[in-house]
Each structure stands twice: as structure tokens, then as C-alpha cells.
Amino acid sequence: MRYKPCWNYQEEVFKSVIARKIARRDTISDEGKADLPLPVSHLLFVEHPHVLTLGRSGNAENVIVSPERLAELGVDYFPINRGGDITYHGPGQLVAYPILDLDQFFTDIHKYLRYLEEGVIRTCADFGVVAGRIDGQTGVWVDIEAGNGARKICAFGVKCSRWVTMHGLAFNVDSDLNFFDLIIPCGISDKGVTSLSKEVGRTISLEEVKPQLKQHLQDLFQWDEINVS
């Protein structure tokens, strides 16, 4: 799905969850009971055509090619309302957008990011890849002890309002890593990027990875799955 219609859909779902929270709050009685049920959280999986997105705290100069070159390659570009810097989405990358009401889980955005990272770390382990974190840098990396030889396999950028989240993670499963040469990924110039397929040494499909990642996130957040579409 192209980035802009997907972003619009995310916003629609995000706003509906917030609206349900507000409506439910407004029906709470003196006894502390609400007439409306809790809002339903969502987990969206998507694969985007080539696109660069720039977070609120990002630097547009981390796009290191011209707009004409992006157009020539068919790469869209959007400044957006998540945290983080510049990143790339494209075919072979599993993008996950959790739209969660954190009031039903925990109200700690740092813990939320660590849970997302942990879900990816566990998924990498399912395929025999040892991945982890680097202090002070959000994301999931391989060869974290290698200093500048460490390679990012998954990037993160989120938005949270009224403890409802949107945006999420971009997991390089079988991505064409040459497209990362268009940018300084996440504004980090001294480390590389990688994909699950590259680390394993064979082509891995998104369909192999989706159920693994979903199950690990479900185990971490302890949510009840009510529908898959």
C-alpha cells in the first residue's frame, strides 16, 4: 500500500480510538462505571512501495540525493508526525503499526519501545540471528559488539497522544539495502543496515515473519486477539 493512503488510514483508526476513550470517560458514573466498552487496539502490517519518511526531530539534510534523483527512482518523500529521523520503507520490509491504547497496558512510552524492540529481537532469534540493542540508540541491531560494524535491522518511530500510539517499526526482512544509500539512516552515519535475509543467507518472505512477530508482541503485551484481517 502506498504510504499516504496508509498514513491516512492510520490517522483514522488512531482518532477513532481516542474518540472512544473520550466518549467512555464522559460516561463514567459516580460509581466509577462506564457505559461504553474500552476502545479496541489495532496492529497493522503493511509493505510499502519505495518511500522516505522524515520524523519531527529529523534533519532533511539526511536525504543525500536530490529530489530529481528520488523521482527518477520512484521514491516518494513525506515529512511526518512521528518521532525519529529519516528512514526508508520499501518492498521486502515488514512495517508494523501498533495503534494501542496504552492505558490498557502501561503508560510508559520507553517501556513501549523496548517491548517493540524485544518482539523483533525474539523474531530474529527464531531465524537464528542474534540481535540486540545499543545503548542510547532506539532500534534493533546485529553484531552490536562490533562498534561501527553493527548493522541496524529494524528502525522505530512512534507518535503517542492521550496514551494512544501510532506509527511503529520497519523490519528489514528482504529489503533492497541499496535504497538506504539515499539517506543517512536515522541520522546515524557510522553504522550500517542489514536485512534478515542477508544475515540468514537465504530469501525470507514477509509471510514467514508476520506470524512470528505477531505472536511475540502478543506474548509481551498479553493482548487478546479478536480479529485478523
What share of residues in the chain are helix, strand, coil (percent, to 5)?
40, 25, 35
Q: Which amino acid is at 113?
A: L
Task: Give yes or no for a contact between 133 and 140, defined as CB atoms under 8 angstroms apart.
Answer: yes
Catalytic residues: 186
CA-based R_g, the chain, Å: 18
DSSP state of 162: T
For residue 220, report the phi and psi dihedrals to the nearest 5 degrees: -70, -45
Task: Give yes or no for a contact between 142 and 58, defined as CB atoms under 8 angstroms apart.
Answer: no
List residues bridging with 76 in a β-sheet: 51
- Nearest CA among 149, 155, 146, 150 for reference residue 175: 155
